[in-house]
Structure 1
Amino acid sequence: MAGLCLKTVTLVFFLSAGSLAAVDQNTLAVDQNTLAANQDTLAGLILAVKDRYLIKGMFSLALSIQSKNQNLEQIFKDNPVNKVTDQLSKGLVYRGKRLAVAKVKKPEHAELRLLTNLSLVSKKGDLLVIYSYASSCSTSCTVINGPYNIIKKINNVIDKGNWSKYAFVFEKVFSPKNKTHIEKCFLRKALKDLGTSRITLANIFRCYVPNKANSSFQCTSCSSDGGVTEACIDYEQECLKECCRIES
């Protein structure tokens, strides 16, 4: 990813009082002077955080954004890169007040490690963003009664907080180490099952670079016509330069 000059990044999202409606990726506005116009959405937020911490491999993070003019640069200041990377290099989960980050530590996936005992500062009107490098797997992450299920973990986190909106974001379509692809029916089921959490399918997004000429990093809703959006389960949608086999 190309570096972004982040002197001051201000994020604003608009929420009517008491509303738990789906997150609108186009109302997560960012300062036009610090990010390109085509990144002034949820994509801009994810790209800014990724560019700041430059974490390699499989990882997951949670971000608690205030509802009124939250300055992302303040979150970066409160969670310095060296502190985040130091904790991760020791195999630990980094936990700040409004940011938490985890990497894979077998047999646990990054999402599970992140969500276990996750507690972020939140107030009414705030937005919770959970980012995962890859989409949820159908063999463990979303198995309802499985030991590595993240659905209950997500619900526990939301129940303990005061967020008014939530978003789950992933970039790559999950592919285990011993396989190139997983059949779409399993990928679709995993997203549908994840959508049974308090997040709901309407608030699950794939943020990535599509396999189209001159495409930029962008977000696509994984909910369409009551089902799962094809782009969220299609390996061929990814820009070939961005593709890599995901280690599980």
Structure 2
Amino acid sequence: MNLLPWMMLVFLLSAGTNLADVDVDWLTRTVQAITTHVRSQYGITGHYCLAANIPLSGDQNTLGKMLWEERGVKDTVETQNQVYTGNSIVIAKPENKGQNYHAEFRVLTNLQKFSGNRKNNFLLIYSFLSPCGQRCANPNNDNDNILQYLTKENLSPWGNYAFVFTTVFDKPRRGGIIHKKTLINTMQDLGNSGLGLENIYRCFKPENFGFQCYSCSSEQTVSEVCVDNNFKPGQGGSRNILGDNRGRDRHSSRSRSSSRRRDNNRGRDRHSSKKRGRDRSRSRSQIRRRDENRGGGGSRSINTGRDRGRSRSSSRRRGYVSRD
């Protein structure tokens, strides 16, 4: 037995095991311990879903012992792509053949495994990715949606439960980025199943912060953290909106300043153009007087020069308007 991960589990799970409501600190320690064990000891890669039936009474090290006692997880889940159903955990990855069922659906259809041992236990449902709105959390999908397994009737025997995910599923393999409004609706549908929005959490490690669980419920609405992978603690939606407005104000100010500079440049250009026009006019008058004094012959070239002058002047005016 590897001593270091075992001692880490003991430390992470050493407090807060009796819950009337979900204790976020306890949940954070528990999810961190389980996800670390799944990756490092079970060798599970990529997206997966797990359900754990955790006793809230007795030895505080029970979860650690249970995780270590589960055998053959990697071979069942990674090699055979089957659902692992142990004494206290069910774990699966997405099905890669047949119906291509999602990992969440494969796990929740096996919760009956815990039916004889639910009293005084905590049901933790963990999914690396948040459920998709097209299949998993689609109330109109009668085939393989997970909402039908998250009703109050199905969850009430536990008394305490939570649905946890780490990464917002906003970039499907096929298609474009999922709009935030769609993500919000998906979270609401998940909460309305009977699970309750207040029992949904996102547990992850934001950049420059420690691993922490965040509630997806904020004043009975979906929290920004649960629909935005770029969310950072302390940067709520309203602050971002104000920041965007300030950015637009600065942009508008720069635009007005640029417009004033362009207007000033246009004014100088018009003044220079008028001056050049006067200079050309004086030059043509001088040439005309010289030609008249010489007795003639230059009027045609004068007219041609004037036409070219008009043409160049018109081209400049047309070009100036088109650039605007």
The TM-score, its normalising length taken from structure 1, stands at 0.77
User: Contact 1:60 / 1:101 at 8 angstroms: preserved in 2?
Assistant: yes
**What corresponds to 1:76 in structure 2?**
67
Within a 5 Å distance, the mapping from 1:57-206 to structure 2 comes to: 57-68=46-57, 69-80=60-71, 83-88=72-77, 89-106=79-96, 107-121=100-114, 122-146=117-141, 147-155=143-151, 159=154, 162-174=157-169, 175-179=171-175, 181-206=177-202
Residue 210 of structure 1: which of 190, 206, 210 is its match? 206
SS in 2 for 1:7: helix
**What corresponds to 1:7 in structure 2?**
7
- Displacement, 1:181? 2.4
- Displacement, 1:225? 1.0
User: Contact 1:168 / 1:203 at 8 angstroms: preserved in 2?
Assistant: yes
Distance 2:206 2:38 in 1: 20
Residue 228 of structure 1 aligns with an amino acid whose one-letter code is V
SS in 2 for 1:119: helix
Q: Which runs of 5+ in 1 are unaligned?
A: 29-38, 239-248
User: Contact 1:8 / 1:72 at 8 angstroms: preserved in 2?
Assistant: no
**What corresponds to 2:213 in structure 1?**
219
Runs of 4+ in 1 over 6 A off after TM superposition: none
- Displacement, 1:141? 1.0
Q: What are the Cα deviations for residues 154-202 of structure 1, in whole angstroms up to 9, with x where unaligned?
A: 338x627731201101111102102452110010111110001232110
User: Contact 1:87 / 1:94 at 8 angstroms: preserved in 2?
Assistant: yes
SS in 1 for 2:164: strand
Is 1:234 matched with 2:233? no
More strand by share: 1
Distance 1:65 1:71 in 2: 8
More helix by share: 2
Q: Residues 117 and 126 of structure 1: is their aligned pair in 2 closer, same or farther, counting only changes over 3 Å? A: same
Residue 163 of structure 2 aligns with an amino acid whose one-letter code is F
User: Contact 1:26 / 1:42 at 8 angstroms: preserved in 2?
Assistant: no
Residue 219 of structure 1 aligns with an amino acid whose one-letter code is C
User: Contact 2:39 / 2:45 at 8 angstroms: preserved in 1?
Assistant: no
Q: Judge which range, 43-52 or 218-227, deviates more.
A: 43-52
Question: Greater relative contact order (Cα 8 A, min sep 6): structure 1 or 2?
Answer: 1
- Displacement, 1:123? 3.1
The TM-score, its normalising length taken from structure 2, stands at 0.60
User: Contact 1:95 / 1:101 at 8 angstroms: preserved in 2?
Assistant: yes
- Displacement, 1:9? 3.2
Residue 237 of structure 1 aligns with an amino acid whose one-letter code is F
User: Contact 2:108 / 2:146 at 8 angstroms: preserved in 1?
Assistant: yes
Distance 2:180 2:151 in 1: 26
Distance 1:160 1:231 in 2: 25
Distance 2:81 2:38 in 1: 20
- Displacement, 1:231? 0.9
SS in 1 for 2:201: strand
Task: State how many pairs are aligned.
Answer: 216
